Amino acid sequence: MRRDPIIFGFITALVIGLVALPALAATAGVDIQGGSYHPASLTVESNTTVTWTNHDRIGHTVTSTDGLFDSGPIEHNETFNYTFTDTGTYPYGCTLNASTRRTPMQGVVIVVPEGMAVAPDGNRTSGEEPGNATLADLVSGSDLLTTFGEAVGKAGIAQTVLAASGPYTVFAPDDAAFAALGNETVAALFNDTETLDTLLMHHVVRETYTVNDLTAKANAAGNRTVLTTLTGDNLTVSTTDGNLTVGNATIVASDMAASNGVVQIVDTVLVPPGLVLPENQTAVGNQTAAGNQTPVAPPPGRVIP
């Protein structure tokens, strides 16, 4: 049977084209709406392109805390794309419309190896070795970290970071450290999850550092070294007369190992530069109704309208 040269040539070109066709890149999306990123925490595989779309009438930015990417102003219905090639955790925020809070909008992209996608429930869909406690598990189960564990659970982003990625070193303040802030400040923090997330992620640095590692690192640099937290700020680690300090805190319990890092318990809550801790406010529902207030006589010469 004679082959038609035109059909044969077409089939040959089609096969070559299919072989040369690159694999379709993975994509994911984040909506900017109501002054927030949705979802605020996104887990993707490496080589995924993430697209942010601004649905608000005002401009926003997508700015990495470590300077890796910066969208500049994104106006209404505009988008910004970034392709994540390396695994790791990438916190970001908006640098526009700043308020008294240091980071008015927060998000994080967690990049895992290809084939290791994480399901919405936080569990890996493949390749996970069961039985190892994560940093989130370790924090929530420690009797010394009751308040810190509760704060991680309320914050959301911090919990996802400590459960799904790493390795990290967490400088976790003990219960006494939070008590020193005062009950009103702690209660107000728990009602302000954006500020709480910023505060908590200032206690986390990339890589695993035991006390011996921190001491050696500081001694090698003249008794002082600097670590960068997930907020992009610095923590100074110092050794003086055999004592190891992190910022203005002292390590009181050390080297609690997890599957994705280590926890060092400290005696002080570390506050990043420029972050204003919220003040506690009385809830509207707890205020005394106007009709139940006792009238007060006005001072002489003044009239109550």
Please report how many Cα atoms fall inside a 13 Å half-sphere around the Cα of residue 164, on the Cβ side: 31
Helix (H), strand (E), coil (C) string for 128-189:
CCCCCCCHHHHHHCCHHHHHHHHHHHHHCHHHHHHHHCCCEEEEEECHHHHHHHCHHHHHHH
Question: Per residue in 7-49, pLDDT tens?
Answer: 555 455 544 444 444 445 689 999 998 888 888 778 888 899 9
Which of the four pLDDT bands, split at 50, 70 and 90, describes residue 286?
A: very low
Length of the chain: 305
Q: Walk me through the domains of the chain, giving residue ranges and CATH numbers.
A: 24-127 (2.60.40.420), 129-282 (2.30.180.10)
Whether residue 271 has pLDDT greater than 50: yes
- The predicted pLDDT at position 205 comes to 93
Question: Per residue in 170-218, pLDDT tens?
Answer: 999 999 999 999 999 999 999 988 889 889 999 999 999 999 999 999 9
- Please compute the mean of the pLDDT values over residues 270-277 and round it to a whole number: 87
Question: Per residue in 170-182, pLDDT tens?
Answer: 999 999 999 999 9
Judge residue 19's burial from the number of C-beta atoms within 10 Å of its C-beta, 0-12 exposed, 13-18 middle, 19 or more buried: exposed
CB 134 within 8 A of CB 100: no
> What tokens were used for 147?
């308040």
Q: In this structure, are strands 168-173 and 261-266 parallel, antiparallel, or unpaired? A: parallel
Whether residue 262 has pLDDT greater than 90: yes
Question: Per residue in 116-125, pLDDT tens?
Answer: 554 444 444 3
For the chain, the average pLDDT equals: 78
pTM: 0.64
